[in-house]
Amino acid sequence: MGGLFGVATRDNCIHDLFFGTDYHSHLGTKRGGLAVKSPKGLKKVIHNIESAQFKSKFEDDLPKLRGAMGIGVISDFDDQPLIIASHLGTYAIVTVGKINNLDELAGRASNKGVHFSEMSRGGVNPTELVATLINEESTFTAGLQNAQERVDGSCSVLLLTEEGLYAARDRLGRTPIVLGEKPGSHAAALETCAFPNLEYTPTKCLGPGEIVRLTEEVVEQKKPPEKRMQICAFLWVYYGYPATSYEGINVEAARNRCGAALARNDDVEIDLVAGIPDSGTGHAIGYANEAGIPYRRPFVKYTPTWSRSFMPQDQTMRDLIAKMKLIPVQELVEGKRLLFAEDSIVRGTQLKDTIQRLYDCGAREVHMRPACPPLVYSCKFLNFSQLRSELDLAARKAIHEIEGTGEKFLDEYANPDSEKYNTMVERIRNRLRLTSLKYQRMPDLVEAIGLPKDRLCTYCWDGVE
């Protein structure tokens, strides 16, 4: 889904900018970029990070970069940051989000004589489009508000301008932006795990649609937050790094509570609880501690070289990587009844292979407890790179098999008290060869996160917008 980081400091921001952006590496695997503002002007560096980590790609650039303010990005697909010259001056921009009406907005701009020169996957670069929306107004604040209003989907933005660093959170707060502070510096991050090691104290979560301007000295609110919030609940379940907090709620702790909730609703007889690294680990620990059953590691991830979570689009390669990065520990599997707490089941294809490997190692039983309800709707608000079609979702596939179409009775299938729900879950269980499968219920998930349901986006589970 991408990540962003910005910093305004007294002297040289490069150390903080480099590590602060690097700490968003788990959110994307395609492009990374930095822009720095020095008295000599704006400078940017962009690298392809598909085959090597952000750090190894940018290390050589560091000595050549210097400046008091900077912004960085881990990007889903597109080259970022962009440097834009316009009537507002020359500025750098990074964005996180998803623009569903990209073509319409681009056409509208072209008809006004605006051109696009940053092509991306054969089309207009979404970040350049956001810049054209900003340029339609006479101030950065009005421009950012224009972008928030016109984009269908979501869009959080950082700008590096002559006046300072602008941070604008998405209109409905679907993606977070958190401010941090240390003497002489202000920073803005999507993931607060970027803060402690750089010695920033988190000071404020921007509200939905809120816009601020940061300099080394001040944080100026340019636009107050909107009332309505729809922050993505999946951030706690899957995307976020364990050390991060959104809206003041820590990811690891929320995952522990998710696991505990699963355990409280469970009475299966098992020998050990485990997670599939990395995203299942927090949930599994929570389950094990609540249930008083040993937590163990029958799968270890080979982190020295398979470090990142997301994968290339090529399916064969994804499957190979999925296999190679997990190593089974025969001694902890053979003859055992294993329960896996997983963050979620998306497509279930790799999971099926993973479960099969446990049986190949002699597992007696394999139980699965996803930390969230079945994914029935594909996300319209953020780029979720694992999915090519809604029908790839394990739940939808099961519905399609049952109904002959994947488009019917979705409300009912999303209801855990319905017959249809049970049939769907049983079909998924069967396909994955699980001994038992029991999903988290929505109220338990909401309680584990700890925000009111109407402040969370739960669209992918219940279709509520």
- Rounded CA-CA distance 341/321 in Å is 21
Q: Which residues contact 338 (CB under 8 A, 6 or more apart)?
A: 270, 271, 272, 274, 298, 358, 363, 365, 366, 367
Binding mask 256-295 for a second copy (x = CB under 8 A): x---------------------x--xx--x--xx--x-xx
| Residue 312 in contact with a second copy, rule: CB under 8 A | no
Task: Report the DSSP beta bridge partners of residue 12.
Answer: none
Binding string, 132-151, against a second copy, x = CB under 8 A?
x--xx---------------
In the three-class reduction of DSSP (H, G, I as helix; E, B as strand; rest coil), residue 249 is classed as: strand
For a second copy, the binding residue among 63, 117, 227, 335 (CB under 8 A) is 117
61 binds a second copy per the rule CB under 8 A:
no
CB of 12 to a second copy, least distance (A): 16
- Does position 19 interact with a second copy (CB under 8 A)? The reply is yes
59 binds a second copy (CB under 8 A): yes
Instruction: Provide the mask over 358-397, with x wherever binding to a second copy is found by CB under 8 A and - wherever it is not.
Output: ---x------------------------------------
* DSSP assignment of 146-171: HHHHH-SEEEEEEEEETTEEEEE--T
The residue range among 224-232, 303-311, 379-387, 442-450 that interacts with a second copy, by the rule CB under 8 A, is: 303-311
- For residue 198, CA distances in Å to 67, 71, 96, 153, 304 come to 17, 15, 22, 32, 24
How far is the C-alpha of 442 from the C-alpha of 450, rounded, in Å? 12
Does position 305 interact with a second copy (CB under 8 A)? The reply is: yes
Based on the shown chain and the rule CB under 8 A, indicate whether residue 317 belongs to the binding site for a second copy.
Answer: no
Residue 182 interacts with a second copy (CB under 8 A)? Answer: no
Subset of residues 214 to 253 that bind a second copy, contact rule: CB under 8 A: 241-243, 245, 250, 252-253
Residues of this chain, 87-116, that bind a second copy according to CB under 8 A: 87, 90, 106, 110-116
Q: Which stretch binds a second copy (CB under 8 A): 65-73, 78-86, 214-222, 411-419?
A: 78-86
CB of 332 to a second copy, least distance (A): 7
CB of 378 to a second copy, least distance (A): 25
Q: Where are the beta strands (DSSP E) in 191-308?
A: 201-205, 211-214, 219-223, 231-232, 245-246, 249-250, 272-274, 299-301
Distance CA 260, CA 243 (A): 19
**Are 133 and 146 contacting, i.e. CB atoms less than 8 angstroms apart?**
yes
Instruction: Answer yes or no whether residue 5 interacts with a second copy by CB under 8 A.
Output: no
User: Does position 316 bind a second copy by CB under 8 A?
Assistant: no
- The span from the CA of 178 to the CA of 81, in Å, is 20
Find the angle CA(244)-CA(304)-CA(362) to the nearest 5 degrees: 95
Question: Applying CB under 8 A, does 40 fall inside the site for a second copy?
Answer: yes
Nearest distance from residue 430's CB to a second copy, in Å? 26
* Number of residues located near a second copy, criterion CB under 8 A: 83
**Distance from the first to the final alpha carbon of the chain:** 19
Using rule CB under 8 A, residue 154 touches a second copy: no
234 with 460: CB under 8 angstroms? yes
Q: Which is nearer to a second copy, 60 or 217 (CB)?
A: 60
Given the complex with a second copy, which of 206 and 288 has the nearer CB atom?
Answer: 288
Q: Which is nearer to a second copy, 223 or 296 (CB)?
A: 296
A 10 A CB-CB count for 267 gives: 7
Residue from 297, 318, 337, 429 in contact with a second copy (CB under 8 A): 297
- Looking at the Cβ atoms of 123 and 443, the one nearer to a second copy is 123
- Minimal CA–CA distance to 436: which of 282, 267, 257? 267
Q: Does 428 bind a second copy (CB under 8 A)?
A: no
**Residue whose entry in the numeric block shows the structure tokens 């709707």:** 377
Q: Does residue number 417 form part of the binding site for a second copy (CB under 8 A)?
A: no
User: Is residue 14 at the binding interface for a second copy, with CB under 8 A as the rule?
Assistant: no
Among the residues of 369-418, which ranges form H helices?
A: 394-403, 410-413
Rounded to whole angstroms, the Cα distance separating 397 from 390 reads 9
CB of 20 to a second copy, least distance (A): 11
Q: Please, what is the minimum distance in Å from the beta carbon of residue 455 to a second copy?
A: 20
CB of 216 to a second copy, least distance (A): 23
